Structure 1
């Protein structure tokens, strides 16, 4: 029954997330909102709604590991898994100038996330500051993208145009609301089922958040990227992933901290503390995987002006290695901490 809950949650998150994005975009187009605004806000935010609702549900259930692991794991999966799959389908052409602004912001936001975890800074004022930073980023991006020669604007417009949704105002609104309901119920099933599995098998809730939950909430990005790659617009996937990773940190953790301040040192087991893992429920390995993912993304995107198929293979292998380390399937040399 528990596995059916998790599977049902994943399905509802996927279908609901897709419906929410397409319905919202359809409504926006009927209201004559530009493709630039749609790509800059609705697409990035819409594909991050599953992460948001899931993290809020997890915090409500006092499953901090799932809430934070969901965001960290989703950002890792977005790069290593989603972009890896998209690049294997079709090499992703990149424009270093277009990526300069958003790419650097993603690097800064990733560094900020590492600092927040390290110093355990998830209070309500910090949440408000994160949301303020998101507002500043969106405002600055919108103003900067008004320039005709801005290549980042071209990327954001392409993100909006990649979503095929022209249902009309009323139908689009119905689809969006139905999608949101699906995401809410899917998050409830996924989190509740994930907590039960963690307790039954003695697995940390954080690992469940970093893996099953993170992959489930990244399904909208995966589908969007795969479809874009098949249609020869795989460069849209890159912009979508960067925007989603920024939203995940500033928006999701911001809202979560405002609604329910939490601590990443609050649900450590006695066994974990005895083994030296008392610093944080997010381990050095998790932080290392997060940093490695954004490093590889920027390295591959800037050099050669494309993410080639072999680079997509590297990303997927890195994700497989990370999975193996999480579940102790890969032997770790004793010289490493906590090996």
Structure 2
């Protein structure tokens, strides 16, 4: 390999590691900041996880289909559809698997051991809205685009309903739950930094900026963390795409599988950190809330602005897309079924481990299609 090419490879590798570090740092700062932000806004712990944390960390993966759709050109619609479908698929499989694995891994340090203490109402609400919205999105793909009711395409009706569905979800989430106890929250990172700076310059703080931070400081830290997450995710995706192109993986496969792995890392990291700290409601609702978001609003973009071609005909471009939707729905149904049958806060995490099996099967299918040149 020429020296210049070798140097470029090292640069790409370092950028890949740097992006991974930004995601980790952003997740740590974000989990701390969003807890305080939800508390200052008077939002319940479950709503903080389902709305603030979920929507915030969903920004990286949401930007990919938007950019692809706006850019246009050859393959842009495939990239947009793959990115839209890849996000909820990763959440329902890999992210859910990490929830179960983290509970077992951190069992020794958790006060709840291997029991997952969760908010049953919010979890069932999140998964129910996800399953309704995502199922409708799949049905929309099976309806020919020119099919109309009263001169209005049926797909447009479904798209409008999905937006209204998420607005209804927001309303129900915000009105439910109790406010978290601030005694159980870690000091605000930015507040600690402000106190350190003031002390360094010899002027002691006139108030507690870390354990009783002002709303402005909590919002500032959350925005800083989101910046780290967005930059890290975009950088990670760029480097992963370079790796995939180097070994000849089609870009459509990258959009459906590899890119969502990178962009779903924030949700996964946030949840792992919260599970290690016995904050199971925040951890689980961070993922299920993101599923509710990804199963309604981003798919609306796909229905309205892409061919949205999903089918179950073996060997066609839409086959893997359709399978990813069906697997995500199946994984969500399993967790919802278990959540409905157990009492509040009495959840064995084993069903989450089973979610990873869907991803393994899907990955095998994707590899098979790549080998066939599909």
Tell me the TM-score normalised to structure 2 length. 0.66
Tell me how far 1:115 sits from its aligned partner: 2.0
Deviations 1:150-194 (A, max 9, x none): xxx25xx56999875634444434433333433443454345445
How many residues end up aligned between the 2 structures?
A: 312
Residue aligning to 2:141: 117
Aligned residue for 2:305, secondary structure, equals coil
Q: How does 1:30-179 map to 2 (within 5 A)?
A: 30=40, 32-35=41-44, 38-62=48-72, 63-88=76-101, 89=104, 90-93=114-117, 99-119=123-143, 129-143=161-175, 145=176, 153=177, 157=179, 164=186, 166=188, 167=191, 168=213, 169-179=215-225
- Which range moved further: 287-296 or 64-73? 64-73
- Distance 1:21-1:238 versus aligned 2 partners, 3 A rule: closer
Residue aligning to 2:249: 203
Q: Give the aligned CA root-mean-square deviation in angstroms.
A: 4.1
Aligned residue for 1:58, secondary structure, equals helix
Q: How does 1:271-282 map to 2 (within 5 A)?
A: 276-278=315-317, 280=318, 282=320
5+ residue gaps, structure 2: 1-8, 105-113, 146-152, 192-212
- Distance 1:162-1:294 versus aligned 2 partners, 3 A rule: farther
- 2:93·2:359 contact (CA, 8 Å) conserved in 1? yes
- Give, in whole Å, the separation in 2 of the partners of 1:330 and 1:312: 28
- Give, in whole Å, the separation in 2 of the partners of 1:68 and 1:165: 41
- Distance 1:52-1:231 versus aligned 2 partners, 3 A rule: same
Tell me how far 1:246 sits from its aligned partner: 0.6
Aligned residue for 1:33, secondary structure, equals coil
- Distance 1:276-1:161 versus aligned 2 partners, 3 A rule: farther
Residue aligning to 1:316: 356
- 1:17·1:46 contact (CA, 8 Å) conserved in 2? no
- Give, in whole Å, the separation in 2 of the partners of 1:97 and 1:176: 26
Deviations 1:61-117 (A, max 9, x none): 443334333332222222322222222323424565554433322221221232233
- Distance 1:85-1:322 versus aligned 2 partners, 3 A rule: same
- Give, in whole Å, the separation in 1 of the partners of 2:66 and 2:264: 16
- Give, in whole Å, the separation in 1 of the partners of 2:370 and 2:350: 23
- Residue 223 (structure 1) aligned to one of 265, 269, 272: 269
- Distance 1:233-1:142 versus aligned 2 partners, 3 A rule: closer
- Give, in whole Å, the separation in 1 of the partners of 2:325 and 2:169: 24
- 1:47·1:221 contact (CA, 8 Å) conserved in 2? yes
Are 2:334 and 1:296 aligned?
Answer: yes
5+ residue gaps, structure 1: 146-152, 267-272, 332-338
- Distance 1:45-1:328 versus aligned 2 partners, 3 A rule: same
- Distance 1:195-1:65 versus aligned 2 partners, 3 A rule: farther
- Distance 1:171-1:208 versus aligned 2 partners, 3 A rule: same
- 1:23·1:165 contact (CA, 8 Å) conserved in 2? no
- Give, in whole Å, the separation in 2 of the partners of 1:108 and 1:160: 35
Residue aligning to 1:264: 308
- 1:9·1:186 contact (CA, 8 Å) conserved in 2? yes
Are 2:322 and 1:251 aligned?
Answer: no
- Give, in whole Å, the separation in 2 of the partners of 1:162 and 1:50: 29
- 2:55·2:293 contact (CA, 8 Å) conserved in 1? yes
Residue aligning to 1:334: none
- Give, in whole Å, the separation in 2 of the partners of 1:53 and 1:160: 33
- Distance 1:292-1:100 versus aligned 2 partners, 3 A rule: closer
Tell me how far 1:295 sits from its aligned partner: 2.1
Deviations 1:109-129 (A, max 9, x none): 221232233347798886555
Higher alpha-carbon Rg: 2
